[in-house]
């Protein structure tokens, strides 16, 4: 049960003015003495009047049913509408009405002054209590002294945030909000192509992006296959270098590899990632030349546009020996270079096939029969010296040379030396 006296004591304690209550007790004792003096002075004051005065002096109490206390707010004190001293004055007024003005005038002036002082003090304290009751709350008034505040984090220029782990409020730096040490979401700028990370003066030392490390003037890629060294792309002297990871970072590192469009540059070689494809240098629509300033070595054959295959810069002529027993000899322009005939026939006819543009075939004929020997060369008489046939008479050896200009019979010419 809250009463006015208890409430006033709490207020006085909260505001550090307990001495006011002590002064009130002293003044109340003086008041009691004055009343006793007044009782002696006026003579008779019946018991009922004394009980009435004491009842008025006692602090008025109220029951809990008469007060509605709001949640989270201290109950306001129930104060008399009039100062307590006014009750004494009314009581004295009743006495004087009964006893007459003569008895009232018999109160000494010194007591009247004491009564005025008491009246003023009580009235001032009542006004103070009324004002304070309207404020509500109580206890600690400084935030930094509350138990749920991390006092060690207090510093100038910080903001207050709640830490669920410690269940306390902590002071934090606005620059570090949100906490960049633990980002649980994507970091997306509000405007595209506007903001940068660092600048030319203040740069980030390193950035770890999945399996890519962006560092000072280099990018290191971690090999997705375990156990293999990393690869680093760096820039020096206006040249990009792809080198093997840390510890082997040299500009002439052969193990470092690069694959662009299926062309692999690694181990001082240019390779194709797909072995079934052709490596094409240049375009057929461009007449410029590919210039090699170093020696060229071919470990395999070279195929030209006319499908001529060559595996060496000098091709040994194909020499074929035909021991002609019959009266016919084969001359194949696609494979023959030199053909040697050793025959004992009086007449030999050439069977020409696979005429090839620009091809020259040389034919040597040796005849040991004696007498006149006839060689039918197989082309038109207008394309040969001496008609459709060549003859051996005084010599047993004949040399015949064929020239094929464009791969046709009409432009194939033949000459003989006997």
Residue-wise burial string across 293-331, b where 16 or more C-beta atoms lie within 10 A, e elsewhere: eeeeeeeeeeeeeeeeeeeeeeeeeeebebebeeeebeb
Residue 27 is encoded by which pair of tokens? Answer: 């003044």
CB 159 within 8 A of CB 174: yes
CB 377 within 8 A of CB 414: yes
pLDDT tens, position by position, 46-87: 444 444 445 444 444 434 444 444 444 445 555 555 555 555
**Which residues are paired to 234 by β-bridges?**
218, 241
What is the pLDDT, as a whole number, of residue 11?
62
In this prediction, the residues of the chain whose per-residue pLDDT falls under 50 are 1-2, 45-53, 55-74, 104
- Read off the DSSP letter of residue 185: S
Report the DSSP pairing between strands 373-376 and 347-353.
parallel
Measured in residues, the chain has a length of 418
What is the pLDDT, as a whole number, of residue 147?
83
| Cα separation, 13 vs 57, whole angstroms | 23
Tokens 């570090």 locate to 176
What lies within 8 Å, CB to CB, of 144 at 6+ separation is: 151, 154
What is the pLDDT, as a whole number, of residue 55?
46
pTM of the full structure: 0.35
| Cα separation, 366 vs 378, whole angstroms | 18
Report the DSSP pairing between strands 328-332 and 412-417.
unpaired
| Cα separation, 291 vs 52, whole angstroms | 130
């Amino acid at each position: 049960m809250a009463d006015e006296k208890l409430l006033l004591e709490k207020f006085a304690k909260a505001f550090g003015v307990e001495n006011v209550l002590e002064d009130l007790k002293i003044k109340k004792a003086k008041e009691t003495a004055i009343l006793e003096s007044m009782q002696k002075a006026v003579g008779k004051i019946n018991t009922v009047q004394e009980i009435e005065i004491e009842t008025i002096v006692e602090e008025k109490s109220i029951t809990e049913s008469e007060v509605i206390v709001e949640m989270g707010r201290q109950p306001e004190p129930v104060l008399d509408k009039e100062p307590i001293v006014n009750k004494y004055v009314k009581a004295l007024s009743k006495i004087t009405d009964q006893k007459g003005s003569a008895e009232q005038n018999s109160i000494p002036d010194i007591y009247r002054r004491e009564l005025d002082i008491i009246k003023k003090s009580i009235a001032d304290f009542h006004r103070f209590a009324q004002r304070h009751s309207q404020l509500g709350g109580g206890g600690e008034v400084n935030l930094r002294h509350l138990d749920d505040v991390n006092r060690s984090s207090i510093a100038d220029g910080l903001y207050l945030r709640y830490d669920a782990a410690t269940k306390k409020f902590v002071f934090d730096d606005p620059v570090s909000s949100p906490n960049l040490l633990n980002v649980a979401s994507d970091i997306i700028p509000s405007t595209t192509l506007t903001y940068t990370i660092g600048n030319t003066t203040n740069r980030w030392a390193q950035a770890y992006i999945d399996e890519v490390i962006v560092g000072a003037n280099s990018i290191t890629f971690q090999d997705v296959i375990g156990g293999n060294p990393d690869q680093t792309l760096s820039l020096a002297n206006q040249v990009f270098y792809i080198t093997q990871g840390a510890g082997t970072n040299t500009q002439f590192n052969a193990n470092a590899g690069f694959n662009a469009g299926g062309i692999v540059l690694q181990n001082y070689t240019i390779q194709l990632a797909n072995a079934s494809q052709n490596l094409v240098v240049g375009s057929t629509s461009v007449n410029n030349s590919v210039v090699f300033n170093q020696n060229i070595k071919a470990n395999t054959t070279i195929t030209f546009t006319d499908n001529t295959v060559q595996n060496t810069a000098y091709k040994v002529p194909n020499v074929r020996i035909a021991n002609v027993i019959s009266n016919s000899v084969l001359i194949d322009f696609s494979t023959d270079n030199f053909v040697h005939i050793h025959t004992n026939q009086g007449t030999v006819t050439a069977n020409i096939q696979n005429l090839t543009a620009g091809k020259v075939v040389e034919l040597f004929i040796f005849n040991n029969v004696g007498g006149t020997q006839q060689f039918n060369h197989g082309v038109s008489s207008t394309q040969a010296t001496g008609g459709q046939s060549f003859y051996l008479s005084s010599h047993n050896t004949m040399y015949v040379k064929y020239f094929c200009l464009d791969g046709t019979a009409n432009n194939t010419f033949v000459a003989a030396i006997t």
